[in-house]
Amino acid sequence: MGKKKTKRGNGSIHLRKNGRWEGRVVIGRNEKGLPKTKNVLARTRRECQEKLKALRDSINSAESKRPKVGITFGAWLDHWYRSDCKPTISPKTQTDYENRIYQHIIPEIGHIPLVKLTSGDLQQFYIRLKQGGRLLQPERYGPGLSDRMVKTCHVTCRTALDKAVSQGLLLKNPAAACKAPTTHPKEMQVLTQEEMQRLLIQAKENGCYELLLLELTTGLRRGELLALQWDDLDFQTGELYIQRQVQRIRGELTVTQPKTRSSSRSIILPPPILDILKSRRQHTGSRWMFPSPRKEDSPRDPAAVRKTLSIILERAGCKHVRFHDLRHTFATNALEHGIDVKTLSAIIGHVSSATTLNVYAHVTDGMRQSAAAKIDCAIAKAEPSPDAMVPKKPARTTFQAVKGKYRRSGTGCVSQISGQLWEGRYSPRVNGKRMARNVYAHSEEECEEKLAKLIEEMKEEIAAQRTQIRAG
């Protein structure tokens, strides 16, 4: 039996020599112009007709969703993000992608036809981002975007264009020939034993003792720590369950799933920490372990914790570190005191121990050197060098918490938010609402001067508003 004639474009059906029915339909043309086909097999003609129809429907459905050949790069990028990228990433990551795509990439080069986009277009775009691409708070961070942000824009473009190549919309990826900025990881800073003592002493004065103590003894991520509820802690066994995190997504404080699958974990707290938390539990009416002091039944805001840490570090005379550096401090101390890498990886929630080794390679190198020195002492009976000796336990600090170091009402506040950046803030209450404004500087003295001018300007503005209200 020969081929079964069908309408043009609907494919063909024929009986094979082995007695099975085959349906075949053309799905496109290759680079040489020859037809590309797909086929189905069935035991009966009717079954084959049904399978062939289902195949045609699926092809037509895919074709209807596929963007047109003459689209711009912006239209393709939007299509790729919504159909391929967005369904696979978390809400927080979605926000990051949308900021890059809709605030930077599409406004700058989205109008260029996809097939005409060149490596030069992309390279010039990266240069513009680096020189003056910042849209928000340029007075705080400078006019240009960071190398890290420019590189993430490049990666986004490259990934979207890879998909365009795989779908036959492009012959090659123009982003592949571009040179992205080289990024360097932020320098890891670790508090010394003496600095940790001063930090905790000052934290008691500032009402943040339990929070920082738990961080230094567990190494939890900031969002994980602030999302803890009392039901997550078994006071009988000391087991603490980490099963959520707090994030700001599109300006709203949101409780979400942990960062990765391995982030959902449990750890055992030592008895002294349990006793301190038991005492705190008796004086806390909230379900949250560290509730917001301003909003009922809400966890503490991560940004507020960052600012509080900055104040405590300054008053304790410690070097300025990020909250994440407290996590590094815990991990470094754990490795130095003999905890193996695999166990530490499970405690801090890394995907694998390889990640832990990469992050804390400097610590493990020191551990290997110390081990080698100890082996040499044991085998060769050599005298141990001072570097190979176990460091002595640091003496208890004589530091006294700074008390009463508070600014007068109406003078605003100044805090260090990074290694070389200070923030001044003035937020008077006007007509029952907070009117907050910030200034930024690269030194505390400069920040105080800017803040004083800001306060004068705001007081004049408020006085003018009140005069206008009275006159009206």
pTM: 0.70
Residue 258 lies in a domain: yes
pLDDT score for 201: 95
pLDDT tens column, 139-184: 777 889 999 999 999 999 999 999 999 888 999 999 999 998 888 7
Residue 329 lies in a domain: yes
Residue 96 lies in a domain: yes
Total structural domains within the chain: 4
For the residues 224-232, what does the mean pLDDT come to?
96
Task: Supply the CATH number for residue 97's domain.
Answer: 1.10.150.130
374 plus 418 within the same structural domain: no
257 plus 384 within the same structural domain: yes
pLDDT tens column, 277-303: 999 998 888 999 999 988 888 999 998
pLDDT tens column, 50-93: 888 888 887 776 555 555 567 999 999 999 999 999 998 888 89
Our CA angle for 346, 350, 356, nearest 5°, is: 95
- Among 118, 144, 177, the domain boundary falls at 177
Residue 364 lies in a domain: yes
311 plus 338 within the same structural domain: yes
252 plus 372 within the same structural domain: yes
What residues make up the domain containing 437? 413-471
The length of the chain is 472
Q: How many CA atoms are closer than 13 Å to the CA of 418, on its beta-carbon side?
A: 9
274 plus 359 within the same structural domain: yes
**Distance of CA 424 to CAs 143, 215, 301, 318, 437, Å?**
20, 27, 19, 20, 8
215 plus 303 within the same structural domain: yes
- Among 388, 422, 440, the domain boundary falls at 388
pLDDT tens column, 381-399: 555 555 544 455 667 888 8
pLDDT score for 389: 46
59 plus 77 within the same structural domain: no
* Residue 375 predicted with pLDDT over 90: no
- Dist. CA 11–CA 1, nearest whole Å: 17
* Residue 2 predicted with pLDDT over 80: no
341 plus 220 within the same structural domain: yes
pLDDT score for 388: 47
Residue 326 lies in a domain: yes
Residue 100 lies in a domain: yes
- Among 65, 85, 108, the domain boundary falls at 65
pLDDT score for 186: 75
pLDDT band per the 50, 70, 90 thresholds, residue 215? very high
359 plus 256 within the same structural domain: yes
282 plus 332 within the same structural domain: yes
334 plus 461 within the same structural domain: no
pLDDT score for 32: 61
261 plus 353 within the same structural domain: yes
Residue 198 lies in a domain: yes
Residue 183 lies in a domain: no
For the residues 411-435, what does the mean pLDDT come to?
82
